[in-house]
Amino acid sequence: MDATLAEILASAWALLVRAAADPRHPGRIVQLATAGRDGAPRLRSVVLRGVDPVARVLCLHTDRRSAKVAEIAAEPRVALLAWDPRARMQLRLAGAAAVLTDGPVWRTAWEATPIGSRADYAQADPPGTLAAVPPGEPTHPQPMQNFAVILLTIDRLDWLRLAPGAHRRAGFAWDSGAVQGSWLVP
C-alpha cells in the first residue's frame, strides 16, 4: 500500500536528518545549485551539515570567498539535490539561502569544526583563484575569517522514489508555513 503524503514528507525529512548526522551516509553529499552572475546555473557538491525539519532549514559550510557566496548574495534562491541509493529516493529542494559570517550560530559551527577540517579555510587565496602550480600548505593566519555557514530555508520539496514498475513522485510546497502536498506523475 502506498504511504500517505504526510508519511512521505516525514520520511524525506528523516532521510535528510540521518544523512546530516552520519558521515558514512551516501545522502550526506548533496548538490547545491545557484544562479551564476551571468544567469547560467552553477552546481557543486557540498556536505550536508545539519537539518532542522521544523524550521525547514538545512545547514552547509563553505569558504566565504567562494563563488557560491557571491552568487547567493546576488540571488538567494537556490536548489539542492539529494540522492539516497539505498532508499532509491531523490529529493529536490528549493528555497532561500542566507550566508552567516559572524554571530553565535556561525561561531558554534566553527568551534565544532575539527582542527583538520579548518585547513579547508586556510588557503591564502580565494577558492577558484588561478594558480601557476598546485597550491601548497594552507597558510592563512586566520582561517576562521574565511569560514561561512549557509542556511537554506526550504519552500519546495520534490520527492521521487524509484521502484520497479511503481515509481512514485510527490511535490510539497510551503506558503506562510502551511504545506500543500500532491502526487505527481513520476
Instruction: List contacts with ligand FMN (CB under 6 A).
Output: 29, 42, 44-47, 60-63, 66-68, 127-128
- Name the grid cell of 110: 566553527
Output 129 or 180, the one with its CB closest to ligand FMN.
129
CB of 68 to ligand FMN, least distance (A): 3
Cβ neighbours, 10 Å, residue 95: 20
Output 110 or 174, the one with its CB closest to ligand FMN.
110
CB of 161 to ligand FMN, least distance (A): 24
Output 101 or 180, the one with its CB closest to ligand FMN.
101
Output 47 or 173, the one with its CB closest to ligand FMN.
47
Q: Which residues contact 147 (CB under 8 A, 6 or more apart)?
A: 61, 63, 64, 101, 106, 109, 110, 113, 118, 121
CB of 127 to ligand FMN, least distance (A): 5
CB of 32 to ligand FMN, least distance (A): 8
CB of 116 to ligand FMN, least distance (A): 14
Output 44 or 77, the one with its CB closest to ligand FMN.
44
CB of 69 to ligand FMN, least distance (A): 7
- For residue 140, the one-letter residue type is H
Kindly write down the DSSP assignment for every residue of 99-153, as one continuous string. EESSSHHHHHHHHTS-HHHHGGG--SSPTT---SS---S---S-GGGGEEEEEEE
* 157 burial type by CB count under 10 A (0-12 exposed, 13-18 middle, 19+ buried): buried
Output 60 or 80, the one with its CB closest to ligand FMN.
60
Q: Which residue has the cell 552553477?
A: 42
Q: Three-state secondary structure along 10-28?
A: HHHHHHHHHHHHCCCCHHH
